[in-house]
A and B are shown apart, each in its own frame.
Chain A
Amino acid sequence: MTVLELSRWQFGITTVYHFIFVPLTLSLSYLVAIMQTLWRVKKDDVYLRMTKFFGKIFLINFAVGVVTGIVQEFQFGMNWSDYSRFVGNVFGAPLAMEALLTFFLESTFIGLWVFGWNKLPPRLHLATIWLTAIGTSLSAFFILAANSWMQHPVGYRVDPATHRVVLTSIWAVLTNSTVLAAWPHVLFAAFMVAGAVLIAAGAWHLARGSGSKVFRRAMRLGLTVTLVAGIGAAVTGDVQARLMDSQQPMKMAAAEALYNTSADASFSLFTIGSLNGSKELWSIRVPYLLSLIATLNPHGTVQGINNVERAYDKKYGPGSYKPVIPVTYWSFRLMAGLGSLAALLAAIGLWLTRRGRAPRSRWFYRAALWGLPLPYLGIAMGWIFTEMGRQPWTVFGLLTTAKSVSPGVTASSVIISMTVFTLLYAALAGIAWWLTVRHVKAGAPAEAGQPGAPEPLPAFQY
């Protein structure tokens, strides 16, 4: 493999892996903050036990998210130095803002939250988890602003002397329509992960009869969060589809493997056969749906891959401007399908647990546990779709991936780094998973006054 292919694989592996942990950090921070707030307001110890129980899951997950995030910031320079040279003027700004405005906030206040239980006045201590949560979502905003600029560059000009981009409006970059749609979409999707974690932990205990109020409430909260977030993700995703149709028509066409421009375009839920534009063997189609998604009009015209390709050949010079169609086609379906399935399961779960009901069916609890991977996989598919769908560009219309890779880095170096990261990350995933499962199985901390009840600890958490 070439340095380019190796670097792409490494970026894919490290980024998808990093983003296994980020969504739970983004969402569980808020849910833990809400639990702790409810405890303060309602003086109900069940909420304190929920705070402690899910707080620990949050911390195990947060640690892996933080350390794998360092790699993300460094590998632009390490593996994509020509990209960094080209975009630094624009892309570096949101990255530096993310570090200064949000990384300090998250890391400092999470330390105060963990170690400050009996060092800080209760209200101030409560504020630390809220500040951590706000820090994580602001961090997501800045990095998504940077990513959105790659999808839809705004607020720049190309310097004729250096052939590199120069920032002309930071405001345009931070209010890019692409990021304004992507940020809520990512946050909603992230909340589906926290919902699934609450549901799975709750189900594990409720199925064994060891579930107290802690897990009953956690489960109901998880079901509600998953359903609401699922609807939110669908609505924001729908808004993104229209932006994509106007900003990156190739990606929209690739999402459906639509080769020729069509009005009244249908959306296939499933296709058997090759996706190379030759006749498919079999598919299930929803009429007019693609036109509706892309243009809000069932009879609207959606551009096909071949037509966009011809237009790009004229605009950017002869070449191939198609992403890998089977990847975009299937990742798009899996993203939407897995997310919808998770939301549907949550709706059923809410119905079955309404007004204090406790389902006896084993299938209910099995579904709750097996539902855990759904939002995780859906999110991974979403990122694979949006990043692979932008290919062959790193910065749409401005810089190709082939021209982004580091010129001085050898294939052997990248093989070494990819091996190290992959092995290290696999080990971390195994340990984090094992620790989390062990913690979940051990159950929630006991009620106040009981042996083992959570009590304010001195500054010893490690």
Chain B
Amino acid sequence: MNLATFWFILIAILWAGYFVLEGFDFGVGILLPFVGRDDAERRVMINTIGPVWDGNEVWLLTAGGATFAAFPLWYASLFSGFYLALLLILAALIVRGVCFEFRSKVDSPRWRANWDRAIFAGSALPALLWGVAFANIVRGVPLNAAHVYTGNLLTLLNWYGLLGGLVTLSLFTLHGANFLSLRTSGELRRRARRAATSAALAAIPLAAVFLAVTQYSHGKPATDITAALAAVALIGGAAAAARGREGWAFAGTAVTMVLAVATLFGDLYPNVLPSSTSAAYSLTVNNASSAHYTLVVMSWVAIIFTPVVLGYQGWTYWVFRKRLTSSDIPAVGQASKTAEPAGGRP
């Protein structure tokens, strides 16, 4: 295995990590208006992901940075080609990120309701668009001889891309429901479990059709196995959710994400961005990668620091493992209550 292939695998791992982690916090955001009945419940939901969502999003930034360093041509063609789709994702991530921070800074139902709507939209839009993006990467996009994308936003919104989008949307929702039922208790936990069942009813057929179509057009024997295992993990996760085995359910959807990403990247290899214009114009692991020395440097950095990052990020989940309920919420506004009057001359 050469270093370029090693980095292709590493980037696949970063995306898998991103989908497993940000997947559930997208899911919690999507479920916010459906599972949380009142402000207190919605606060509980947001606080389950409060300490971790930002760290989860860094997986995306690291995947982006790693692609830039290890496959500059892939980064350049992909990011400039998917320009408007990425703009939508960026706008959604910006809005969503500040929502969490700003929502409870003002004690007003209307203020909070507005931020709640924004959290829903800011979570649902990227959840859909990441699927659209990855389906199109596997399917191939129009690239010219200079590897420059020649399509537009509508090129990406083909039926296969949209199907991929619905798969990630429903999978992340299911994953988020499983996470919520693990991290909450009481009525909220019961509702999260019911939401998991509904999401599974959408996710299972969508994912099955998507994986079948993908394997039919782009499949290989090895990825047929990962695709089949992904389906098993998904069904197993959904069954566990229905039986109230919350830990297994969450593990099931997490494994589904990992295997689905493995399937897509496996189908893609050795391409990184296939050209639908001509196979000769495709970007591959070899023609898109950085030179050997850069890959060596980055490999050492990754080998040394990835375990450290995984260690402290994993520890965070351990620190915040306790279930949350509405009764844990301090009296509204207590955090910002002040004894010093702001009066005086203006």
Contacts and interface: CB of A to CB of B under 8 A. Distances in A.
A84 B68 contact: yes
Interface stretch (A189-197, A219-227, A257-265, A452-460): A452-460
Nearest to B339: A446
A415 B339 CA distance: 49
A34 interface: no
Given A88-B73, A424-B95, A78 B65 contact: no
B101 A99 contact: no
B345 interface: yes
Nearest to B97: A67
B276 interface: no
Given A167-B294, A431-B102, A88 B72 contact: yes
Contacts of B105: 60, 435, 439
Interface string B282-308: 000000001101100110011001100
A15 interface: no
A458 B330 contact: yes
A62 B98 CA distance: 9
Contact of A88 (B68, B87, B301, B341): B68
A81 B80 contact: yes
Contacts of B149: 408
A99 B309 CA distance: 11
B66 interface: yes
A92 B70 contact: yes
Contacts of B84: 413, 416-417
A81 B328 contact: no
Contacts of A296: none
Nearest to A167: B294
From B68, B86, B104, B336, name the one whose CB has the most chain A CB atoms within 10 angstroms: B68
A101 interface: yes
Interface stretch (A24-32, A110-118, A248-256, A344-352): A110-118
B102 A63 contact: yes
Contacts of B221: none
Given A66-B97, A116-B319, A443-B341, A92 B65 contact: yes
A385 B93 CA distance: 31
Given A99-B65, A408-B149, A444 B338 contact: yes
Contacts of B301: 96-97, 100-101
Given A74-B79, A409-B80, A457-B330, A100 B65 contact: yes
Nearest to A52: B335
Interface string B66-86: 101111110111111101101
A458 B50 CA distance: 12
A62 B97 CA distance: 11
B100 interface: yes
Interface string B164-205: 000000000000000000000000000000000000000000
Interface stretch (A208-216, A231-239, A327-335): A208-216
A93 B316 CA distance: 27
Contacts of A87: 72
Interface stretch (B54-62, B208-216, B248-256): B54-62
A354 interface: no
A44 B71 CA distance: 53
By secondary structure, the A interface counts as helix
B335 A461 contact: yes
Contacts, number: 286
Contact of A82 (B65, B76, B291, B324): B76
Nearest to B44: A460
A108 B338 contact: no
B97 A120 contact: no
A451 B339 contact: yes
B68 A100 contact: no
A33 to B, nearest CB: 18
B94 to A, nearest CB: 4
B1 interface: no
Contacts of A439: 105, 336
B22 to A, nearest CB: 12
Contacts of A200: none
Given A67-B98, A84-B72, A89-B291, A460 B47 contact: yes
By secondary structure, the B interface counts as helix
A68 B94 contact: yes
A76 interface: yes
Nearest to B42: A462
Contact of A73 (B65, B98, B104): B65
A450 B70 contact: no
Contacts of A90: 294
Given A96-B68, A424-B95, A435-B105, A103 B338 contact: no
B80 A111 contact: no
A23 B323 CA distance: 37
Interface string A407-421: 111000100110011
Nearest to B319: A119
B113 interface: no
Contact of A63 (B51, B80, B101, B345): B101
B335 A63 contact: no
A115 B65 contact: no
A428 B98 contact: yes
Given A93-B294, A457-B330, A462-B43, A108 B87 contact: no
A442 B342 contact: yes
Contacts of B328: 458-460
A207 B71 CA distance: 57
A64 interface: yes
A109 B315 CA distance: 11
Given A107-B55, A207-B344, A462-B43, 16 more contacts: A84-B68, A88-B290, A89-B72, A111-B50, A112-B316, A205-B340, A208-B345, A408-B148, A408-B149, A413-B84, A435-B105, A444-B338, A452-B334, A458-B328, A459-B324, A462-B103
The 7 closest A-B pairs by CB, nearest first: A88-B72, A77-B79, A208-B344, A446-B339, A92-B69, A443-B340, A63-B101
Interface of B: 43, 46-47, 50-52, 54-55, 57-58, 60-62, 64-66, 68-73, 75-81, 83-84, 86-87, 90-91, 93-95, 97-98, 100-106, 146, 148-150, 290-291, 293-294, 297-298, 301-302, 305-306, 309, 312-313, 316, 319-320, 322, 324, 328-330, 334-345
28 contacts: A59-B101, A60-B102, A63-B97, A63-B102, A77-B76, A77-B80, A78-B80, A88-B68, A91-B68, A92-B72, A103-B62, A104-B312, A104-B313, A107-B55, A107-B57, A108-B55, A108-B312, A112-B316, A164-B72, A166-B291, A167-B290, A413-B87, A443-B341, A445-B339, A447-B339, A459-B324, A460-B47, A462-B104
